[in-house]
Structure 1
Amino acid sequence: MPSTDPVALTQALVRYKTVNPPGEEHDCAHHLGDMLAAAGFDVTYVDAGERRTNVVARLGNGAGTPLCFTGHIDTVPLGAQPWRVDPFGGEVVDGRLYGRGATDMKAGVAAFVAAAIDHADALAAGPGVVLVITSGEETGCDGAFHLTEQAGVLGEAGAMVVAEPTSNQPLVGHKGALWLRAFARGVTAHGSTPEHGDNAVYKAARMVGALERFDFGRPAHEVLGRDTLNVGTIAGGMNMNSVPDVCEVGIDIRTTPGASHADIRRDLEADLGGDLAELETLVDLEGVWTDPGDAWVAEVYAVMAEMLGETPVPRGAAFFTDASALTPHYGDIPTVILGPGEAALAHQTDEYCVVDRITQAKAAYATLMQRWSAA
């Protein structure tokens, strides 16, 4: 049986337009599901909305807990900057595979699917794997959370690899995300008589000052650093010559594992005081952390040290992943983020993935699958 080419599969996945919104991952998901079903995997499709398809594929003898691999197939929009290449062409130039989603993270998905298909016979004879391929990750892990709410669909897992872009460096954690929208409200009036109104923009400006000074009151994490807060958007007013009666502020908070998002929200409400009319939660994702001394993590380090030519050291990511939903669902299993993409190229114009990293990732995933099955 010929080997499954992860580079060609990445190209095929890039050619599906799964920009989120709207996502429309259905066709891409079924392409992967059909391949896995043909290799003997038990494939389940779970829709989280119209054409918002997730795939759960498993193979094993049921005698042990499988190893989980996960990745998402939605992408962010193209952005305003023109691309030099077709963003959905999957073109390979000078050892780089270009396209929206090439690095984040269709190359990672292609690599673990290719590895699983090529080793299906061995996986079927042992505890095997469960592959969780999701929709809607870019807007807050929507697909993954939907899967956790479906009784029995995800089954069990003993450890997990998240194939997000890390240049094939194994990471043992990532920050959480708490996205909030704060509203200041006032009373409108004619711009020539502002004393008759109550200016919501002035209230929002005071809130922004308080947000800039906000103190989380927590020590830095030994690897992931400090919790952070960024004011990303502000919008208010209906025209130049009216007193604005509403203004909203978008807040992006990234937290280290162990932070209480409920406590942070409470402290923010106290700091923003009477200028705050309402605080709305848009995204609430906990951070993820696995002890670098965990025995399975040490095995991952050993596999990657041989491939990379250097011994990995504990590292983490500032971005979030579907592990925020899946790791606690599976009982806080050991979790490693490990994928062929380049994190710095995620969401960028002319996004690409280095071809050699895709083949290296497939080899790494195959080794981890084989070792898990042999344990």
Structure 2
Amino acid sequence: MNTVNDLDLRQDVAVLTEQLMNINSVSGNEQELADKVHAALLEFDHLQVHRDGDSIVARTTLGRDRRVVLAGHLDTVPLPRTDGARGTVPAQVIDGVLYGRGATDMKGGVAVQLALAAELTEPKHDITYIFYDHEEVAASKSGLGRLARNSPQLLAADFAILLEPTNGTVEGGCNGTSRFVIRTHGTAAHSARAWMGHNAIHDASQVLRRLAEYQPQTINVEGLEFREGMNAVRITGGVAGNVIPDHCEVEVNYRFAPDKTLEQAEAVVLELFDGFDIERTDGSNGARPGLDQQIAAELISILGQEPKPKYGWTDVARFSALGVPAVNFGPGDALLAHSDDEHVPQQAIRDCLSSLRSWLG
């Protein structure tokens, strides 16, 4: 049986990734993995280690002129429901490719963080390594958000990288995200006498029609093209098979470019659904690209690839809100995240480690 401190941070980073993937850490179930990460980091004298719940921060304190954050979340989305899906736990290795939950999102990135934390005793910049819980759920539960509230000094830095999957290139900034519930109201009646009531589900068709006719924008922000999107993601209503429904709710997710604040994004949605009962239930600002920093230019030069926009929301937005320029850079294809076929080439993880080692070493 494994002991709590059985993570070998100096082994092949692809093997370390597999070891991390074999620990089920679906959101809310991060403690086992957090315990192992915490214990492993405590073995290194060059790191100061702090823990807040299931979030761990490890820092070098060498008095360098600049400090860099490398951050990644420990949790994953739930395991696939499909029988025989490869994107599950434990991991599988097939022809040099790691299959399993967290392969791209984002245990490959976390393994790179851990390998660097163990290896870089004298980096050119001071480094803060952040491993946090509850990223894949509502923003109010975020371990990174909790760290920002409880110990904001631990997040202070000149630049931050979130090791989300980017296929090995830098993705600047990120779209913001917001969720709304749009409610329609009717009058209940026996379905045999439908004329005595008013069907709230039928009224929801007007919400869906407006969504279908909506044309999402592509917006240039500091040279990067951010694609927006607005979609219905859930619909609920009705009480029984013989009752005209008196209520219906349509949940809408709006992904908006970082040229807008959360409030400006809300105004877009309120205008589109004028006349409906609507409530914003969740939301997070996006982040403008953090590519105007010299330290970012150095990383881009090492990679030799043109930076791209990050379409999905990531925690670069939290760093941006704290005044820390931040980008996404990590192994794996973001299009595979959350899929039943989630996978990452082992070599992509090694390449990511090599690039960051060259940049920081």
TM-score (norm 2): 0.89
Q: Secondary structure at the match of 1:74?
A: coil
Tell me, which stretches of 5 or more residues in structure 1 are unaligned?
A: 48-52, 306-311, 371-375
1:82: how far off? 2.3
2-structure distance, mates of 1:293, 1:324: 16
For residue 319 of structure 1, what is the aligned residue in structure 2? 312
Aligned partners of 1:177 and 1:320 also within 8 Å:
yes
For residue 286 of structure 2, what is the aligned residue in structure 1? 287
Q: Secondary structure at the match of 1:288?
A: coil
- 5 Å-filtered alignment, 1:50-199, equals 53-85=54-86, 87-120=88-121, 122-123=122-123, 127-141=125-139, 142-152=142-152, 154-199=154-199
Q: Secondary structure at the match of 1:92?
A: strand
2-structure distance, mates of 1:357, 1:190: 60
2-structure distance, mates of 1:2, 1:189: 64
1:354: how far off? 0.6
Q: 1:153 to 1:220 in 2, by over 3 A?
A: closer
Aligned partners of 2:66 and 2:157 also within 8 Å:
yes
Aligned pair 1:28/2:29, yes or no?
Answer: no
Q: Secondary structure at the match of 2:265?
A: helix
Aligned partners of 1:112 and 1:365 also within 8 Å:
no
The one-letter amino acid paired with 1:45 is R
For residue 45 of structure 1, what is the aligned residue in structure 2? 51
2-structure distance, mates of 1:324, 1:148: 12
Which whole-Å deviations, capped at 9, do the CAs of 1:140-199 have from their partners, x for residues lacking one?
A: 452221221113452411111111111111111221111222222222111122332232
Q: Secondary structure at the match of 1:87?
A: coil
Aligned partners of 1:234 and 1:249 also within 8 Å:
yes
1:215: how far off? 6.2
1-structure distance, mates of 2:137, 2:87: 24
Q: 1:35 to 1:2 in 2, by over 3 A?
A: closer
1:319: how far off? 1.2
Higher-strand-fraction structure: 2
1-structure distance, mates of 2:347, 2:103: 13
2-structure distance, mates of 1:217, 1:117: 44
Aligned partners of 2:101 and 2:342 also within 8 Å:
yes
Q: 1:239 to 1:144 in 2, by over 3 A?
A: same
Aligned partners of 2:186 and 2:245 also within 8 Å:
yes
- 5 Å-filtered alignment, 1:196-345, equals 196-214=196-214, 219-221=219-221, 222-274=223-275, 276-282=276-282, 284-305=283-304, 312-329=305-322, 331=323, 333-345=324-336
Aligned partners of 2:219 and 2:225 also within 8 Å:
no
1-structure distance, mates of 2:279, 2:114: 41
The one-letter amino acid paired with 2:318 is A
TM-score (norm 1): 0.86
Could you tell which deviates more after superposition, 160-169 or 177-186? 177-186
CA RMSD of aligned residues (A): 2.3
1:229: how far off? 0.6
